[in-house]
Amino acid sequence: MDSLFDWLTLADVQQDFARNIVSLRMSQDLFDDLSSDPAHRLLAQRVEDDVKPVSYRSRTPIIDRPFEDAEWFSAIDWPFRHWHASRYSDGSFGVWYGSESVETTVFETAFHWYRGLILDAGFERESVIAERKVYAVACAAALLDARELAATDPALLHPSDYRYCQSAGARIHREGHPGLLTMSVRRAGGENAVIFNPAVLSNPRHLCQLTYRLESERIIVEKQPGSAWIILELSGFAGQT
């Protein structure tokens, strides 16, 4: 592990990264089973809003849009409040992942979505549909740069064994570095940002909505409903689950 940090350099990053998260094309009324009266459902929503803690407060609340809080929480804050194990975390702290392009986020998230279907739900032979939302998020930070090193250190890009990267992530988090740049495991030539400090992220903006369809032996990704944009063959995931 020490040899990894001997070769890491710093990159001055001032750019947007794409963040691909679970979403819905149409908003769902979570209170529609309480009453058939729209006024009653509106009252329930207001009660929830009154008691729900504020996750983010804008520095310029007078001029910001009312839904900024929700976008900030969804696009930036969520992984820092809901920790789970991932490539660079053992689950004891939060990590935010973004990519240099929407296409790279598709390859990354489609793999994990499919892996969750076959391991957790047993849906690998059924038609399944998922909705996703992609944000552009600004990053301004001096990040550790592992992009060149990833080409010669296979442990950084191992498709399923995360122990080496989790050990590196634990040190990065412990020492207070804001994040890391590395190559994508799921898409050749793609790049990922691994962020440990939300303070270096800002200005989330909605880019696009995506639909993932698991059909037979492939995942069809749509930007426009009914029109295939990217098609991923499940054979490409062989040996990675």
Would residue 113 count as lying in a domain? yes
Would residue 34 count as lying in a domain? no
pLDDT at position 151 is: 86
pLDDT at position 54 is: 45
Total of domains in the chain: 1
pLDDT at position 115 is: 87
pLDDT at position 47 is: 52
Write out the chain's pLDDT in tens, 241 residues.
667 898 899 999 999 999 999 986 544 444 445 555 555 545 555 554 454 444 444 455 444 454 567 889 999 999 999 999 999 999 999 999 999 999 999 999 999 999 888 766 666 566 789 999 999 999 999 999 999 999 889 999 999 999 999 999 999 999 999 999 999 999 999 999 999 999 999 999 999 999 999 988 899 999 998 999 999 998 887 667 6
Beta strands in the chain (DSSP E): 9-22, 96-99, 128-145, 179-183, 191-195, 201-215, 218-224, 227-233
Phi, psi (deg, nearest 5) at residue 200: -90, 0
Helix (H, G, I), strand (E, B) or coil at 136: strand
Would residue 33 count as lying in a domain? no
Say which amino acid occupies 150. Answer: A
Would residue 88 count as lying in a domain? yes
Would residue 116 count as lying in a domain? yes
For residue 51 the two structure tokens come to 């008691």
**At 109, which helix (H) or strand (E)?**
helix 102-116
- Please write the tens of the pLDDT for every residue from 114-170: 988 876 666 656 678 999 999 999 999 999 999 999 988 999 999 999 999 999 999
User: Residues 6 or more apart from 136 whose CB is under 8 A from it?
Assistant: 16, 17, 18, 19, 204, 205, 207
* Bridge-based pairing state of the strands 128-145 and 179-183: parallel
Answer whether 150's CB lies under 8 Å from 8's CB. Answer: no
pLDDT at position 4 is: 86
Phi, psi (deg, nearest 5) at residue 139: -130, 130
pLDDT at position 63 is: 44
Q: Which of 134, 177, 136, 183 is nearest to 158 (CA)?
A: 183
Would residue 32 count as lying in a domain? no
Range of the domain at 203: 2-26+40-237
Would residue 31 count as lying in a domain? no
User: Residues 6 or more apart from 221 whose CB is under 8 A from it?
Assistant: 106, 110, 210, 211, 212, 213, 228, 229, 230, 231, 232
Longest CA–CA span in the chain (Å) reads: 64
Residues 92, 160, 90: CA angle, nearest 5 degrees = 5
Q: How far apart are CA 182 and CA 202, in angstroms?
A: 20
Give me the sign of the Cα torsion angle 27, 30, 35, 37.
Answer: negative
